Structure 1
């Protein structure tokens, strides 16, 4: 198995600062996994291909590949693209037991700057999970057109921002976060995502991948209170530095709040997980 050192590209000046190793480990530990049902959908989308190269854009800690590899044993190569070296390190650690004799390469660069190196890197399945809203979407889709094989499937996966799902505890937790923030700290930039309205079809309609199907998975997701608190540390709205030295006090209040909503130690939310599968129109392949 190959684990090349992440290839370096200078970050875009408007990109956020690189994530620390501590934050990357929190992402790996606390961010929700990609559901098995989604992994099987992606495997079915490339049925009939004898060997598959997976390109994951905004790969983070490797959650997409970790879900898809068991469902799609025909994967021969995985390329992970992310601007954070710390996130890619976590991805390599997570994927190492799953790779076997398959190749794994990491590319430390924003997705729009990625360039495939040789025919072996031409992707059959391109994925982007929970990150497309942060990218230059037109540039990413143009890049995908340049490096994709004629039959490539492009999959956009998203379940909206944390705390956007239907539950009895998300609203009170949002209110607690808002009341606990350092008043001198500038507010977090609102996310353009929504758990109910993730409409990237207009972006895809103007791209080479204009043959689009939408798939919606609805399911309950459970957390422990400490898992929710850990996940909050990875969000723009509740990162520790936003609390003006009072983050520990906030987490203690959050733990007490969430315990009042827990049943048998668990919190439940109803999740809408959207997958857009996009291909080139049949006549254009």
Structure 2
């Protein structure tokens, strides 16, 4: 198990997620079982399959696939935050068994496969995943990198389900308005930037990449939140991280809990759709 950097992410990239690692591990929703089964089917039948997870965070995707694919041979987990990678290592180490793990501290588009040791076989990924992370990446550059490193017949999966900022319900609208009252109307993306929507859709990025054979899968997901879980989740986000509020964060959390308590009679429900874009090079679909 290595913890390498090829090359190092920028300080801004790393600081955006470093302090959120503990809350991310505790409060972020996992990958729906139906999506895990879909990804497991991609690897089924491939000898000694290899997973490359970009923007791995706390390792949710590798952990789910390690359980779903007993024969998984190697995991390459890439993230801009060493703290996130530390959490991923802690989650994965107890379940690895014969599966090997490499942790790579790098931006996704700068990823390069670690040089093999003498006598070691180069491990090309059979599946490359980006879960709730692709919107932070320079998409075309990431897909070009994926084409360079992916095994013949490999698949790329870009997936996610939005956030409580984008979810449209009475309680999330009220929560969003409270955040805006403290931080301004624009959605923040860390302490030094505001979030802007990608100029192109993920489908448009894939259409100009090597992975143009694309299938879309949509899985409805129903979640029930508690006020405490919502507040913990907010601490893990780029739009409501404690650093954004500075000395007002304690006041914000108290007001957020009070606001959310007014909606708990009917429970804090989230109806989301987890979308997977599964893409392959033309003529290689299994």
CA positional deviation for 1:279: 0.4
Residues 182 and 242, structure 1, Cα contact 8 Å, conserved in 2: no
Structure 1 CA distance, aligned partners of 2:68 and 2:46?
14
**Runs (5+) with no aligned partner, structure 1:** none
Residues 219 and 271, structure 1, Cα contact 8 Å, conserved in 2: yes
Q: 1:130 aligns with which of 129, 132, 135?
A: 132
| Residue number in structure 2 paired with 1:190 | 195
Q: 1:31 aligns with which of 23, 28, 31?
A: 28
CA positional deviation for 1:10: 2.5
Residues 161 and 191, structure 1, Cα contact 8 Å, conserved in 2: no
Q: 1:89 aligns with which of 83, 86, 91?
A: 86
**Runs (5+) with no aligned partner, structure 2:** none
| Residue number in structure 2 paired with 1:6 | 4
Asked whether 1:205 is paired with 2:217, we answer no
Residues 182 and 243, structure 1, Cα contact 8 Å, conserved in 2: no
TM-score normalized by the length of structure 1: 0.89
CA spacing shift, 1:48–1:228, aligned 2, 3 Å: same
Structure 1 CA distance, aligned partners of 2:184 and 2:160?
30
Structure 1 CA distance, aligned partners of 2:229 and 2:4?
30
TM-score normalized by the length of structure 2: 0.88
Superposed counterparts of 1:260-279, under 5 Å:
260-263=262-265, 266-279=267-280
Question: Which secondary structure does the structure 1 equivalent of 2:126 belong to?
Answer: strand
Asked whether 1:66 is paired with 2:63, we answer yes
Question: Which secondary structure does the structure 1 equivalent of 2:39 belong to?
Answer: helix
Structure 2 CA distance, aligned partners of 1:29 and 1:260?
24
Count of residue pairs the alignment pairs up? 276
Q: 2:167 aligns with which of 165, 177, 188?
A: 165
Asked whether 1:40 is paired with 2:24, we answer no
Question: Which secondary structure does the structure 1 equivalent of 2:152 belong to?
Answer: strand
Q: Name whichever of 216-225 and 115-124 sits farther off.
A: 115-124
| Residue number in structure 2 paired with 1:156 | 158
CA RMSD in angstroms comes to 2.4
Structure 2 CA distance, aligned partners of 1:270 and 1:150?
37
Structure 2 CA distance, aligned partners of 1:283 and 1:169?
45
Structure 2 CA distance, aligned partners of 1:52 and 1:273?
24
CA spacing shift, 1:231–1:191, aligned 2, 3 Å: farther
| Residue number in structure 2 paired with 1:180 | 182
Structure 1 CA distance, aligned partners of 2:164 and 2:173?
11
CA positional deviation for 1:109: 0.5
